[in-house]
Structure 1
Amino acid sequence: MVDHEGGDILNLARAIFAEQPFTQFLGSELANISQEKIEIRLPLKPQLLQQHGYAHGGVLSYLADNAITFAGGIALNGDALTSEFKINYLRPAKGAVLVARAETLSSGRRQAVCRCDIFVEEAPETLVAVAQGTVVPVG
């Protein structure tokens, strides 16, 4: 999310998301983006499941990492990377679509601390994982 000297950070974030090869491979969608929150949706296809039919933990980690990075990059107004994150798996994720919602809890010039909740979308939504991470500007 390279800062374009006053450029629109949200449009820049959308463009970067659309260009991520791994995101395209998984089939993720940037469903909602604002200065306060970001939402990523991921349809669960058979290739993303583990042997018991639940979403693989790596898929949940991808969602947490990506959502945290985008929330932090928006807060830092530029290109950013996750420097660390922790995830808690609360229950097995089984359903058609996963939704990750991230927000910035605190940010300064050098880092942003963000939180992400991951849900199975089916009604009622079920919280399946929570994560928290630190995002730093690139360069």
Structure 2
Amino acid sequence: MLDKGNNDFRERIETSFAHQGAMALIGAELTRIQKGTVEIELSYDQKLTQQHGFLHAGIIAAVLDSACTYAAYTMIEPEASILTIEFKVNLMSPGKGDRFLFRGEITKPGSNIIVADGRAYSIGDGPAKLIASMTGTKMVLRGREELAG
């Protein structure tokens, strides 16, 4: 269930996320949007795994990047857009679980460059387990109508 609030950025993020073919393809869902933080959840699917049955590192990186990017969207004006210019991912534990939670949080807001940190957790029996972290650098784009949203 999506955490609701009264923020101007909410509808823009929901609309943008709905246009992400990659997130739709893997079954990712927005579950929380608030100023500076966005969460995305994903159910385990064997089609998203690597040869050992763990969630593939590429899937983990893609969803963490989306969570961090949308967290950056909460910090900018409505006519601006965001593009990732760099990220680093640390894979800490195999991606095994029934569901996965990806949280992006703003570390350093800025007018042109925004830094976000992401954490990925596996959810199953017992407490959630940290499986990956990301630090990403985002560029704010203005005056690029073709990149709106």
Q: TM-score, length-normalised on structure 1?
A: 0.91
* Distance (whole Å) between structure 1 residues aligned to residue 75 and residue 114 of structure 2: 7
Deviations 1:23-69 (A, max 9, x none): 11110000011113110001121100111110011011111111111
Aligned residues: CA RMSD = 1.3
The aligned residue for residue 3 of structure 1 is: none
Q: In the alignment, is residue 83 of structure 1 matched against residue 85 of structure 2?
A: yes
* Distance (whole Å) between structure 1 residues aligned to residue 134 and residue 36 of structure 2: 17
In structure 2, runs of 5+ residues without a counterpart are: 1-6, 143-149
Contact 1:73-1:135 within 8 A present in 2 as well: no
In structure 1, runs of 5+ residues without a counterpart are: 1-6
Pick aligned residue for 1:109 from 79, 102, 111: 111
The aligned residue for residue 63 of structure 2 is: 63
Q: TM-score, length-normalised on structure 2?
A: 0.85
Pick aligned residue for 1:132 from 128, 132, 135: 135
- Deviation for aligned residue 1:9: 1.4
Other structure's SS at 1:50 match:
coil
The aligned residue for residue 40 of structure 2 is: 40
Q: In the alignment, is residue 54 of structure 1 matched against residue 89 of structure 2?
A: no
Decide which moves more: 94-103 or 69-78: 69-78
Aligned residue pairs, count: 133
Runs of 4+ in 1 over 4 A off after TM superposition: none
* Distance (whole Å) between structure 2 residues aligned to residue 104 and residue 70 of structure 1: 10
* Distance (whole Å) between structure 2 residues aligned to residue 17 and residue 37 of structure 1: 15
* Distance (whole Å) between structure 2 residues aligned to residue 88 and residue 135 of structure 1: 18
